[in-house]
Structure 1
């Protein structure tokens, strides 16, 4: 159902400085922390160093995230469904891919002391993470949210709730990072399936986005309180912008696929995890 009315603004004008400050500080801390860790990794191991490509990708991801969270896009997204959809693409698809290509997990492990590194490696290889870092689980968390958001009253509730609005931003970012990490991340994963299986899951994501955007364009089953024209333009942004993001993800999958290198890094993770286990009495 599409109602011919503008959605309620998420925030009042006098709250805008706070809404600029919080995401702005978050992005700056994220980028600054990564740069400091990268510099430390270079100092600790001048021979291995740290890839400037990884650093460039991560900083690009921070830039995309800032573009999605800060003006001029953020205020527009509060009152226009087209802006909301563009914001969703930046926060949930484009920024996560660039952030993941920065290999932040590997960088963090390189900077941790030996004992803490072994514990972190054990956490990465733990059963709960093993269950979460699964292409199907990542697909459900990513696409399932879109179904709940646009085919239930959730989007309209989000339009009236600042807290829910930011929770959805956080979910889109985390779910997008998880999906990009599972499909094409250069960081080692505990049980990442082969390329054919990941391509199948990526194809399912492309099909799901296409179906959702087409249903949205036709107004079938959706529950969005916004003018029809805005909803249709938003559906087009999802359709074409999502296709480009998923094409980039497929390219990243092929570019980061190095079977021997990946297997070696996974074996090293397992050796560290075994070393972190307490000895039997």
Structure 2
């Protein structure tokens, strides 16, 4: 959808279209792919050799490094600053090949972040849910700060009419919030808090009682 009409032509004519395309590719598509347990599906459908290769990649040291939620946050949100607040965006805007590379980065970094935060597939270095919620908070704050800076035109490396830049910033702000709320909802929906046994191995029954027997009466409960 993001690479097809009417979004694709709009993206090449108007910065607002580019930002809409970026949201679809970098936030909404990764959310759908990750919640669909794509890795598990691939492991079940690939030939044996292909599945072993994929398993080797999943166990590799480089993946353990980039699957850290902090690294995934920097690759996803941090790269937005590198794209829109440096000359990088203008350098790739007119180059089809590099523009596709930029799309691929948005998609892959978005999938990585969604996977380590709320993916259905196992991840090598996924921390507890409260930690991931804190990282989600940093992602929301990062998107908000970058979109507000874009709206104000501070240090911006995008050369487009002011109404397009401000419209793109609004799309980034509100559209990004919705995507992050959906990701947080997916995270919370799959959260199963670990129940710890009571101290001292107590089971919650009064001391000296037996299951199905009332204390002091030693008669079966009906």
| Same fold? TM cut 0.5 | yes
> What whole-Å deviation, never above 9, does each CA across 1:234-258 have from its counterpart, x for those lacking one?
1011000000000000001112234
Q: Secondary structure at the match of 2:122?
A: coil
For 1:144, the equivalent position in structure 2 comes to: 78
Q: CA deviation at 1:126?
A: 2.3
> What whole-Å deviation, never above 9, does each CA across 1:152-205 have from its counterpart, x for those lacking one?
111111222111111100000000000100100000111211101111111101
More helix by share: 1
The correspondence for 2:135, drawn from 183, 189, 201, is 201
Superposed CA RMSD in Å reads 1.6
> What whole-Å deviation, never above 9, does each CA across 1:194-236 have from its counterpart, x for those lacking one?
1011111111010000000000111111011100011001101
Q: How does 1:75-114 map to 2 (within 5 A)?
A: 75-112=9-46
The correspondence for 1:242, drawn from 167, 176, 186, is 176
Q: CA deviation at 1:119?
A: 5.1
Structure 1: gaps (5+ residues): 1-66, 261-281
> What whole-Å deviation, never above 9, does each CA across 1:113-140 have from its counterpart, x for those lacking one?
5676455334312222111111011111
> What whole-Å deviation, never above 9, does each CA across 1:90-133 have from its counterpart, x for those lacking one?
00000110011110111122234567645533431222211111
Q: Secondary structure at the match of 1:68?
A: coil
TM-score (norm 2): 0.83
> How many residues align structurally?
194
| Aligned CA distance change for structure 1 residues 157 and 119 (closer, same or farther; 3 Å) | closer
Q: How does 1:229-268 map to 2 (within 5 A)?
A: 229-258=163-192
> What whole-Å deviation, never above 9, does each CA across 1:11-53 have from its counterpart, x for those lacking one?
xxxxxxxxxxxxxxxxxxxxxxxxxxxxxxxxxxxxxxxxxxx
- Whether 1:69 and 2:3 are equivalent positions in the alignment is yes
Distance 1:199 1:97 in 2: 16
| Aligned CA distance change for structure 1 residues 222 and 115 (closer, same or farther; 3 Å) | closer
Q: How does 1:119-268 map to 2 (within 5 A)?
A: 120-258=54-192
Q: Secondary structure at the match of 1:69?
A: coil
Greater Rg by CA: 2
For 1:279, the equivalent position in structure 2 comes to: none
Q: Is the 8 A contact 1:135 1:198 kept in 2?
A: yes
| Aligned CA distance change for structure 1 residues 259 and 113 (closer, same or farther; 3 Å) | farther
| Aligned CA distance change for structure 1 residues 210 and 106 (closer, same or farther; 3 Å) | same
Distance 2:127 2:84 in 1: 31
Distance 1:128 1:80 in 2: 37
Distance 1:151 1:142 in 2: 15
| Aligned CA distance change for structure 1 residues 154 and 253 (closer, same or farther; 3 Å) | same
TM-score (norm 1): 0.66
